[in-house]
Structure 1
Amino acid sequence: MQDLSANPKFISIEGISRRYPKSGGGTTTIFEDLWFSMRKGEFACVIGHSGCGKTTVLNILNGLDAPDDGAAIVDGRAIEGPSLDRAVIFQGHSLLPWRTVLGNVAYAVAARHRDWPRAKVQAHAMAFIEKVGLKGSELKKPSELSGGMKQRVGIARALSIEPKMMLMDEPFSALDALTRGTLQDEVRRICLETGQTAFMITHDVDEAIYLADRIVLMTNGPQAMVAEIVENPLPRNRVRTEIHHHPDYYAIRNHLIDFLVFRSKTFKDAIPAGYDRRHPPVVRPAASGSTAPSGSRAA
């Protein structure tokens, strides 16, 4: 299993702000002076109410949007536009309807490796189709697939280009509960096996607890801010059917729900003493009922 202590700032959000013009003049600040970082191989989720700028942060990391201030940095280089180093899985599958499963994944592989012969591209694509459990369906077109299978193709396509970072915008929100759980299992397994760095937006507290190593909590917008970084106290090799038995499970769940229901609205009006935007507090909820500092601060 990957050592997350290595390269603590593989992904770094450094003082970013985003503002939009108002129809009657002036500007609306969605968020301002955001700071947080991610380690290589880490799975991070961001939670916050609609309007706090979660998707805007993801689009800045993807290079589809640019901050008004600050910078987003991946592996030591500032993001200046879209790149195959960063793959995105959307809420919708966004597949090419005229291509087969293999054709959709191979299209991404060929874009990444333009000098590869067709046979090598298809073999590489098939390896990732198998990883998401779609072997035997590679010649089907999207119209022949269920919603869950289409999302599997999207996951295979994103992973096949072996990106430095995988970005996910609520990729399971439109699926039924059983399919959602199955795909969460697949994504977690693949990320652990490959050491993939992943950043996901979610409104689902239980999804964040199951998938994430750390959870970024954002206050309500406009003028949203990172309130704190929550370290997941559950073991990385957690099992879905067993996590609710872990002594710290309800500690972290209650902490996240308390934030969404209460503190996300009131945090800006009662900022804790010593709070530093550049180093948001890092906490690790404990079964004792206290939420202890993790012993580190967000870089």
Structure 2
Amino acid sequence: MPDALVTPRIAIIFNPIAGRRRRLTLEDVCDRLTARGWAIDLRPTGARGDAERMAREIADLPKESRPDLLAVAGGDGTIGEAINGLSTAAAGLPVAIIPMGTANVLAAEIGLAVNPEAIAAAIDARQSQAIYIGRTNGRAFTLMAGVGVDAHVVADLDVALKRRIGKGAYVWGAFKQLFRFGFPIYRVSIDNQPPIEAASIIVAKGRFYGGRHVVAPKARLADPSFQICLFERKGVFHMLRYALALGLGRLPKAFGYSILEGREVTITGPEGDPVQGDGDILGHLPARITVAPVPVQLVMPIRR
């Protein structure tokens, strides 16, 4: 148990231009932590890449100067950016999330309610679990990496529209891909086995996608392995069929959809095709995706 006589310190990386409701959530969490005796170091971002840089700066501090906990207030993309800033030197630094994004998939994955009291209580308890993140071509992701339709949706996403209508921007982006996507064939090799062909691929560390839509029921953040989800059929009809099955919670049992397990994944296809991770573009094909050898200590919600 932490020493009650020592003031715990937390550094919070956050986006200052988030919507008013989200800023109020952060302020509420900070007030509750202050009431619990925490010293808070707020670090606002100003541009893309700042969350990664700030996390790296905190991780590289001498242990005696490092905060007791690092928190990231934002969406899954911001959290992923900060995770990229952590080094193996900070393997013991617990990381908490203050979900303020569009989908908050990581919060759903660990069962954290988007509620200031639940978030502050989880941080104050400092009960963490080791989770294994993925890496693709040198970039880290927490939840998933994908190629195919979803990566093209992310690559062409209208950011201004996302700020206005949230998840609807992804729906609109997927609709546009009906008329743009060429449906090439991708080849995926799992743990050095012969390649398998697929129309789209999601390499999952967690169960959920785009909120609480299940794509990989057996995926667990704490497992040092991936669930590799293969969309085997291509074309507009099958794209719509997969989308409907996802919305109805039936995707894992859909015809032409299969899930394999592995620790190392190599994907080839059209050279330069985008690879998305946690809703951001992490790189381009060809891609080699591996499990990071050193886990991240993620603060978990209090179980009632």
TM-score class, shorter-chain normalisation, is under 0.3
Structure whose residues are more often strand by fraction: 2
Structure 1 length-normalised TM: 0.25
Structure 2 length-normalised TM: 0.25
